[in-house]
Structure 1
């Protein structure tokens, strides 16, 4: 038997050897050719110890390679497919098609070493370093030819020298008015002492000065009026710099412009621009109408025009005008032009041409998504949704956008066939939604005006509300049926606004909101509810209300810094029943009662839910990155409510959480639900908590590009966290022992651990994932295993770590999803 195995292995090695020899690409080379096999960067040893961020600098320089070695498909060099596809002698049409496919999908043009390209690479590296402040940098290349396999390794020897730093910067100009202005704004310069004398900082400073001047009347100021930096003095690698702004050719100063007349052309087509138009003056702005009727109310347009007659020219005001008019979505093209007034040389007249969009539009969408439904009995599902929609622009002549849509969806348990259920069809979903978007801020009951007067809203925020916010009225009905378990009807009515404060910060606020949830349970799910009073109490008909404030979401996404690192923050607050509770308490106090109000025997939910999602992204190289995530939240009932509605509670596990456990399998606390001990029940897991704490770490890196069709990336990840109960339900510790949040270890009367420190009760899992990038969609497959349990093992001295001697592949958790988890 052993001899047969050795014989089989020998045949395999021989086959691979013969096939590899057949794929030898050196047979295609001419005598003066060699393949480039490797590029390498080596820093001068005398200077490399003084360099900061040497690894990052090496990565930046590596992006300047003019030549890169060929990659491989399995063990076959890709240039092999390129060469053999040229040989079409004696091949049939089908054979030629196969060769063309192999060349296109598997082949690469041979990377033949080129001395001129290597020289150009070294030259570009040297220029790059000099633009980073290494003015004395030297880069040389040394090719090493290996005659045996006709390959060349190229080493780039980098001697960066000193990096020159800024000492001081002097701003000068022959335009005395402009020079005074430059010195006035100089404290905000990008060229700060101690920073390197780099091209990037110089370009940023040019953009800063240009942007400021164009926003303060200098309509014809351009970057070319700012000269290159001049070094006045340098000692010990610190440089005193001069930045000069020159006047326009033939003049001694730049002219400051004011806004004159503004002409608006609604209904502009471009082909009929010479037709007669009626000139109507509204608040100092000329509207040239193609007929006698305003199809869009003039004040709607005026609210979107940031340009004001008599004000200084501002590039920002002009950009805001274009952006805000486009955001109305009633114009297909917005074109703003300006010209100097024929009588006043320092006055600019503006013409705004508005080409209308279609009033009605019908849409049809089909979507494939990974389900992250908050209801119970939700596993690792794939959702298919068919959505027809109808849009009407300028609904009430105020540029309102009316959108109505129908969603028909199903959720499939394609990868849950080891569960008790035998059907892949898990959920049926129907949703009707209608939205009315207002292109302006509508102050709900004057609430924001009152907050501003009380000093609770800043002038800047209040100004942005008036300038940029859009209001939204929404009405929806959702019927969701989880087969064999339950179905619910959800009606939602809400009103609020969406404010994009700037490209990095966004507020979404709903002042008014009412949700009516009416679930209907089937026998299989009622059996679960009978054994779990807390779930039964939170899974009833409920009214979730807010009449002054319903919810708020704040999103911050910072741009990447010079090192490729960025932040993402999402914070949300969800408040229900505060106004009802206050009125109920007042009524009870006046009538000497203690009853809780209901509407048609439906109770009002009263709770506060807070959640924070903080992420940090690091770009390590062009294709490698590291992500860290912190997620926490708390849901607190108050007033006449003992439980937070189930759909508002937190759960642990699943494809975007702690991936070593199924969704709702982990916790709460050290509690282990008996139903989770049978993996066939995984679509029945329902455990949730009032408090959540979660950490995620993920390293992402490139793997392969199969058949040159799509990129496949790998990921190594570590997840930690859990959910806990805060003990609002009086029977919580009886129904789910060990579920309460605790900062220290407590024992019961038998000396057994009852609750432990929350950090000890955090589950820990590790795993590996694939991300297949098809450009339009990313398919994610993760596999993870628990490393540390959320409960101690009394047989192993109360250790929380997994007993690897008892580990089996059944502990693996496979998660399929779309897109990145975070």
Structure 2
């Protein structure tokens, strides 16, 4: 460690020295620019509202920006100076110099330009008498710019006047003036005026005014009425063209479903297929005509409106069948205020092969990291249907000094057929939002191998619906989901030992059918990269053997079975909330809360193994080996052949600080807490070797006291298309220890070989844990 520390400290000292001596490399007459300072009304006792924020805004608008610094150390400039003037066009010095930045000089500061920019900003904020003057101060080859802003009073809106009702256009403006963004008593704000013009333009676009523009509106400001008040008059410019002042209707709707520039002339000369209001130019009959009823919202003879325009474009993009979508509106040659709509669609390739690397957090027994190969066939039945056939393999590995560390391997094969519409018997639902509803039928096989313990095989068939309310909210509803789970063991001796060790496994690992329904809802705004705070929420509800179970006959002992395999009956719900807070561009604080509850009834005494909750693992509570934590205060024996411990109830909290180290290498510091429980404690069977699992039952009053806590650090290679991570964690709270002794932070001893062997857990995974 000391050998690594000394070079690092030496390099840091060099950077600090190079930064502090930054002016020594300047040529005669050059002055290093250190930044700008803004003084607001320095000769007046009066202060403006939000002075600190206004000062910060003004300083951020000055140019140029000084050299970057951290804690006053201009590290980029230090690297530049440390490299010196390279003697060769290539080499280490040349590379090092490019990592830095040259000195920003005071001579680059344009005072008059900055004066005008700052004055303009204050005027736009309502300080209509503002004036800014700038000067420079130099000391020891360093100089800064000082700007003095005299703001005057900030003006407010006294009255808003809309144009008189002289025609259809002005009537529309007046009919919607109650939605105005201009409010009496508000401060003068230029941005609000710009947004008001856009609002009026949107209202007119909905009424057919295709060629209208916000630039055709003017906000006249009268600041002469006194008392720091202004009157606002909204007017239409005299220079607005006639085309912008009249509404347009749709005449012809021409669709080119298989368009390319190479075939442009050929397609235009084809005789179109007449279907409803559409003229379809497609000599290859690429798509069924009725598909466009769900994609194009315009009708012949109706006024143009922006809502139909945007929804049509969104649907054509979101259906996933086209690589290029373009809508063209052309005025009709007869000058009758009519528009011809030409829609050019370039289909995606019919077949494609994709490779993906993903990481997911799953509370069931299947591994959450996988490599996936998918064959996609598009437009299968000429209705923009899509068939995806995929094969994937995943792994989860942990190492520790005990026998509890286990490796998991999963293999999955899936076929999924997606129809871009609702398929509902005896009913034709009509969806009119921007997103295409989907009907999905899928068939899959999953295999999970847990080494020397067992191999679990799951076959699943599902039919359901996916639809989005908007870009944030998504619903998935599967009215019918059928699963068959089969478990095999390395040998009969292993199986009998497992059942003798824990008779409950006989019911959880036995072959079984799950016939039920499930629904889940997802909300996320993670696509909004400009937001400082992003959220993700998932809520799911699953039932097994309820409605569909009524059609399954009972056997001679009253159990519902299908092909002599028991039918599972249960209700299961899960909630997952995540929050991602961007402290700065390279530092993110991520948090997760995961709750789960399951209830078995009727035909079942426990949840199916693949529907139980588990704790521990690379995507969970990383300081504990996969699926070995809990339930409750129970600890699985070190020599147990079967270590997987499932539960009916789960509570998990994760907090992770993610930061960039260099290039695609990222780091993380994290804390995980949580546990699983059984609804009722496993008491075992009196008079037998089955002693049950003491402390496994859930009691709300004891839940917090029975949480496991672990912490650690990790590195991630984030190459955008894939993420590989290595985490190392150790427990600081062990719920299976006696009450009062569960916090073990005082026992942490990194220098102790035995402690490291017993407590350090290494996790290798694909993707982020959440």
Partner of 1:365: helix, strand, or coil? strand
Output the CA distance in 1 between the equivalents of 2:531 and 2:411: 46
- The CA deviation at 1:464 is 3.9
Whether the aligned pair in 2 keeps the contact of 1:569 and 1:612 (CA below 8 Å) is yes
Unaligned runs of 5+ in 1: 450-461, 745-755
Output the CA distance in 1 between the equivalents of 2:532 and 2:244: 40
Q: In the alignment, which residue of structure 2 is the partner of 1:495?
A: 463
Pick the aligned partner of 1:363 from 353, 363, 372: 353
Alignment of 1:798-809 (within 5 A): 798=740, 802-809=743-750
Question: 2:249 matched to 1:258?
Answer: yes
User: What's the Cα RMSD here?
Assistant: 4.7
Pick the aligned partner of 2:677 from 696, 713, 724: 724
Question: 2:485 matched to 1:517?
Answer: yes
Q: In the alignment, which residue of structure 2 is the partner of 1:309?
A: 300
After superposition, give the CA deviation of every residue in 1:47-88 in whole Å (9 maximum; x if it has no partner). 999755957984896486632324589999444554576745
Whether the aligned pair in 2 keeps the contact of 1:67 and 1:117 (CA below 8 Å) is no
Whether the aligned pair in 1 keeps the contact of 2:399 and 2:761 (CA below 8 Å) is no
Question: 2:415 matched to 1:431?
Answer: no
After superposition, give the CA deviation of every residue in 1:428-481 in whole Å (9 maximum; x if it has no partner). 5433222222122212x34786xxxxxxxxxxxx53489721222222223333
Partner of 1:518: helix, strand, or coil? strand
Pick the aligned partner of 1:224 from 215, 223, 227: 215
Whether the aligned pair in 1 keeps the contact of 2:388 and 2:415 (CA below 8 Å) is yes
- The CA deviation at 1:30 is 0.5
Question: 2:423 matched to 1:442?
Answer: yes
- The CA deviation at 1:299 is 0.9
Output the CA distance in 1 between the equivalents of 2:63 and 2:583: 18
Pick the aligned partner of 1:324 from 312, 315, 318: 315
Q: In the alignment, which residue of structure 2 is the partner of 1:416?
A: 399
Distance 1:669 1:542, change over 3 A: same
Distance 1:346 1:624, change over 3 A: same
Q: In the alignment, which residue of structure 1 is the partner of 2:753?
A: none
Alignment of 1:707-746 (within 5 A): 709-710=663-664, 712=666, 717-727=670-680, 735-744=692-701
Output the CA distance in 1 between the equivalents of 2:7 and 2:559: 82
Q: In the alignment, which residue of structure 2 is the partner of 1:32?
A: 29
Pick the aligned partner of 1:760 from 705, 711, 724: 705
Q: In the alignment, which residue of structure 2 is the partner of 1:396?
A: 381
Pick the aligned partner of 1:470 from 414, 432, 438: 438
Partner of 1:483: helix, strand, or coil? coil
Partner of 1:692: helix, strand, or coil? strand
Pick the aligned partner of 2:109 from 93, 113, 116: 116
Alignment of 1:418-817 (within 5 A): 418=401, 420=403, 426-443=407-424, 445-446=425-426, 463-464=431-432, 468-522=436-490, 527=497, 530-546=500-516, 549-557=517-525, 564-583=532-551, 595-621=558-584, 623-675=586-638, 685-698=643-656, 704-705=661-662, 709-710=663-664, 712=666, 717-727=670-680, 735-744=692-701, 756=702, 758-765=703-710, 773-777=718-722, 786=731, 788-790=733-735, 793-794=738-739, 798=740, 802-809=743-750, 810=756, 811=759, 815=763, 817=765
Distance 1:251 1:308, change over 3 A: closer
TM-score normalised by L of structure 2: 0.81
Distance 1:353 1:466, change over 3 A: closer
Output the CA distance in 2 between the equivalents of 1:478 and 1:75: 55
- The CA deviation at 1:248 is 6.3
Partner of 1:219: helix, strand, or coil? coil
Distance 1:615 1:356, change over 3 A: closer
- The CA deviation at 1:417 is 6.6
Output the CA distance in 1 between the equivalents of 2:9 and 2:270: 85
- The CA deviation at 1:313 is 0.8
Query: Bigger shift: 132-141 or 331-340?
Result: 132-141
Whether the aligned pair in 2 keeps the contact of 1:247 and 1:254 (CA below 8 Å) is no
Unaligned runs of 5+ in 2: 751-755
The count of corresponding residues between Structure 1 and Structure 2 is 750
- The CA deviation at 1:310 is 2.2
Output the CA distance in 2 between the equivalents of 1:299 and 1:253: 34
Whether the aligned pair in 2 keeps the contact of 1:65 and 1:121 (CA below 8 Å) is yes
Whether the aligned pair in 2 keeps the contact of 1:172 and 1:179 (CA below 8 Å) is yes
Whether the aligned pair in 2 keeps the contact of 1:175 and 1:246 (CA below 8 Å) is no
Partner of 2:105: helix, strand, or coil? coil
Output the CA distance in 2 between the equivalents of 1:193 and 1:659: 57
Output the CA distance in 1 between the equivalents of 2:95 and 2:164: 62
Partner of 2:613: helix, strand, or coil? coil
Alignment of 1:19-168 (within 5 A): 25-36=22-33, 58=56, 62=60, 66-70=64-68, 77-79=75-77, 82=80, 87-89=85-87, 96-104=90-98, 106-114=99-107, 116=109, 124=117, 127-128=120-121, 130-132=123-125, 145-147=138-140, 150-152=141-143
TM-score normalised by L of structure 1: 0.77
